[in-house]
Structure 1
Amino acid sequence: MPKVVFVLVPGLHLLDLAGPAQAFSDAAALGYEYELHYVAERLAVPSFQGVPLTAGLTWPRLEKDDLVVVPGWHGHSPIGEETARRLAAHHASGGTVASVCAGADALGRAGLLDGRRFTTHHDLQDAMARRYPKAVLVRDVLYVTDGGVVTSAGIASGIDLALHLIALRHGPGAAARVARSMVVYARRNGDQPQAGVMLRHRGHLADSVHRVQDLIDDRFTEPLPLDALAASAGVGVRTLTRRFTAAIGLTPLRYQQLLRLERAEQLLSEGSTMEAAARAVGFEDARMLRRLRRRASADRTSPAS
């Protein structure tokens, strides 16, 4: 069972902690196994909002599939050398280390920002850029992933970060279900538009269409015949096509293509080749992916867009 370890620092912002913790807790409740741990350099951890917290002093044994998250804090609250060492060691062993808001400072102190892209709360960006000149600050985005180091902006963006990580591990359908349980928006890669494909097309009230979207979200990399989608909704093919298009303005095939394109863009941003990204999202080769990217580029630059 993958572990999610939250490192608590005095003066931490409650939502920096509670947002990601709720996301992974909800994911566990939905059957995506996670084991949450809370550690600190002292037992009593005061939050900036005044709620006292307690945490363990002993870290669990970490494996490469585990995640360490450092929530942000208010004021000057640097981590100790032992915590910095643990962060660096987990990353060196292949694990993922993430931060919310000022938590990026802890990653910087552990040497994990040097040579990497990162982000943080907009009020802290200038100071962090000066403090870690070997890092590349990315402004005005929700989160940035670079080589097993994931940094997010302030406060509520920790939820977006958690949903992103859940989607990477379990797929976009899992992230959508967690987002729905939390009554929040699902987000996509921080370098891309903030509202992802799934969320942009979920503002309707057609239950049968939602059921089909759930199926496509879960299996968008697979061939999904229209008759099978219609059967899952208990309607005919023509009825499904009509309802689906009326609800979201897209056919089921086009919706699936956009999910594939969004995931492929994410893989490309992380260094994947065009061919590998295409195959990972269900295309036989890169030709269709290139065609969809050209179409998306044309749509963005057209006068009507």
Structure 2
Amino acid sequence: MSRVVFLLLPGVHLLDLAGPAQVFFTAADSGHPYTLGYVAEQPEVASAQGLPLRASLDWPELGPEDLVVVPGWRARTLADSPVLGPASLRALREHHARGGTVAGVCSGAEALGQAGLLDGRRCTTHHEVQDELARRHPRSHLVRDVLFTADDRVVTSAGIASGIDLSLYLIATRHGPAAAAQVARSMVVYSRRNGDEPQTSVMLRHRSHLSDTVHRAQDLIDAQFDKPLRLPDLAAAVGVSERTLTRSFARVTGGLTPLRYQQTLRLERAEHLIGQGATVHAAARSVGLQDARTLRRMRARAQ
């Protein structure tokens, strides 16, 4: 069972909080082991929209598989932001030091900066305060015009609805693209994704369309991307001809065929496994490739 703990600060934006919370809540409903918790430096926190929120004063015991999310808050400038107390700053730093992931939505990146977690790492935030974040934390590497960044288990997003994109990315990397696709479809989320950011999930990049036929085909590929998939079987499963499926798929994914989509999923998952310490051979076998040589060729073509 993994915990997702939200650190609530005064003036918290409800969508910064509710978007990611809904993603992990929906993932739990789909069978993934998540429990949600809320902590704050006072027992009741006033949201920016006027709804009072109650939270625990005590941090739960956290492990490497757990996630801490800091939703953004309302402030004219980051200089006007709440200053985190020593206990909160220590909790953020210690959780990351133990191998855990920390995330900041919108101005929540400022909280990670106060904890020193942006130093030497890529980050982003809402476009209105990007320049100020860069000035306040000059050792960070600000990335502009993206929905989210991920760097060494420090994840930041541009703000408001982009917290949903960030959370779907985390679901995709933890449980695979099929799990993220299931959550996205349940939430009816097919908006633009972070296409210019290399950490973004292939699944998320190519879900910004309204073709139900292609979505159903992608659901099948996402769930079985590590297995042989024949185009005739895929077309039959979604009730169209092979030609119709291929043409529709290419039209909404920028030219990808179903097979190419499957291969990009395999490559993305393999890269993630290698980044976690797996050998090229083990990563290749895990994603359904015959040998490491095939994976090396795929990686070379993608560069």
Correspondence 1:199 to 2:207: yes
- Distance in 2 (alpha carbons) for counterparts of 1:240 and 1:168: 32
How far 1:99 moved relative to its partner? 0.6
- Determine the structure 2 residue equivalent to 1:299: none
- Distance in 2 (alpha carbons) for counterparts of 1:141 and 1:264: 24
Checking the alignment, whether the CA contact within 8 Å between 2:148 and 2:194 is kept in structure 1 is no
- Distance in 2 (alpha carbons) for counterparts of 1:99 and 1:33: 22
How far 1:189 moved relative to its partner? 6.8
Question: CA 1:189–1:174 in 2, change beyond 3 Å: closer, same or farther?
Answer: farther
- Determine the structure 2 residue equivalent to 1:302: none
Checking the alignment, whether the CA contact within 8 Å between 1:104 and 1:120 is kept in structure 2 is yes
**SS of the residue 1:199 aligns to:** coil
Checking the alignment, whether the CA contact within 8 Å between 1:189 and 1:266 is kept in structure 2 is no
- Determine the structure 1 residue equivalent to 2:28: 28
Q: Deviations over 1:249-305 (max 9, x none)?
A: 35432331233355567778x6989957972644433344146426xxxxxxxxxxx
How far 1:229 moved relative to its partner? 3.9
Question: CA 1:190–1:175 in 2, change beyond 3 Å: closer, same or farther?
Answer: farther
**SS of the residue 1:20 aligns to:** helix
How far 1:180 moved relative to its partner? 1.0
**SS of the residue 2:38 aligns to:** strand
Checking the alignment, whether the CA contact within 8 Å between 1:16 and 1:72 is kept in structure 2 is yes
- Determine the structure 2 residue equivalent to 1:241: 242
- Distance in 2 (alpha carbons) for counterparts of 1:277 and 1:9: 43
- Determine the structure 1 residue equivalent to 2:266: 260
Q: How does 1:155-194 map to 2 (within 5 A)?
A: 155-185=160-190, 187=193, 191-192=197-198
Q: How does 1:106-255 map to 2 (within 5 A)?
A: 106-185=111-190, 187=193, 191-192=197-198, 196-200=204-208, 202-206=209-213, 210-226=215-231, 229=234, 233=237, 240-249=241-250, 251-255=257-261
- Distance in 2 (alpha carbons) for counterparts of 1:83 and 1:126: 25
- Distance in 2 (alpha carbons) for counterparts of 1:281 and 1:221: 5
Between the two proteins, the alignment pairs up a number of residues equal to 286
Question: CA 1:188–1:263 in 2, change beyond 3 Å: closer, same or farther?
Answer: farther
Question: CA 1:156–1:205 in 2, change beyond 3 Å: closer, same or farther?
Answer: closer
- Distance in 1 (alpha carbons) for counterparts of 2:124 and 2:281: 28
Question: CA 1:276–1:79 in 2, change beyond 3 Å: closer, same or farther?
Answer: farther
Aligned partner of 2:137: which letter? Answer: Y
| TM-score of the pair, normalised by structure 2 | 0.83
- Determine the structure 2 residue equivalent to 1:92: 97
| TM-score of the pair, normalised by structure 1 | 0.83
How far 1:130 moved relative to its partner? 1.0
Checking the alignment, whether the CA contact within 8 Å between 1:145 and 1:151 is kept in structure 2 is yes
- Distance in 2 (alpha carbons) for counterparts of 1:234 and 1:224: 13
RMSD across aligned positions (CA)? 2.9
Unpaired runs of 5+ residues, structure 1, are 295-305
